[in-house]
Amino acid sequence: MLNIVLYEPEIPANTGNIGRTCVATGTRLHLIEPLGFRLDEKSLKRAGMDYWKDLDVTTYIDFNDFMEKNPGAKIYMATTKAPNVYTDVKYEPDCYIMFGKESAGIPEEVLVEHKEDSIRIPMLGDIRSLNLGNSVAIVLYEALRQNGFKGMNLEGHLHRLEWKD
């Protein structure tokens, strides 16, 4: 099972959206405090829709608490400052993919300890970053693809009609 880690997320709608993506993919969500919202906030629940109740989510008081409770975890740091493209690494089935807060990303003090495991999504020019929810979806689905979309529905079905050959 893959793990998404949000380092001090600030916007409840982003976290709600990411929570919904985690439920849809069987991914655990880890939230490192402080959060820019309360977990019972209406906008968080609205973005997560009725899926939030099914989310496997853990909160931590800070980054050190996260590290202490997940010893030996393989962590990829998603950041615009990374030397590696997100498609250039091999995601282990139980790895952690960390994303920073919307306004500042992952602190450089954390990044310097994880250079080889820091990944980026390529972008044009001087664009600061993509939306956090979009970034999580892009990298998470690459990790899922690399792991064969294990346990996921790989075929859809029409409700009223049949596909034509």
Residues annotated in the binding site for S-adenosyl-L-methionine, as ranges? 100, 121, 129
* Residue 44 · residue 15 · CB < 8 Å: yes
Tokens read off for 131: 């939306």
Task: Provide the greatest CA pair distance for the chain.
Answer: 56
* Residue 11 · residue 18 · CB < 8 Å: no
3 state DSSP class of 39: coil
**Binding positions:** 100, 121, 129
Distances (CA, A) of 30 to 6, 61, 137, 155, 163: 6, 11, 15, 29, 40
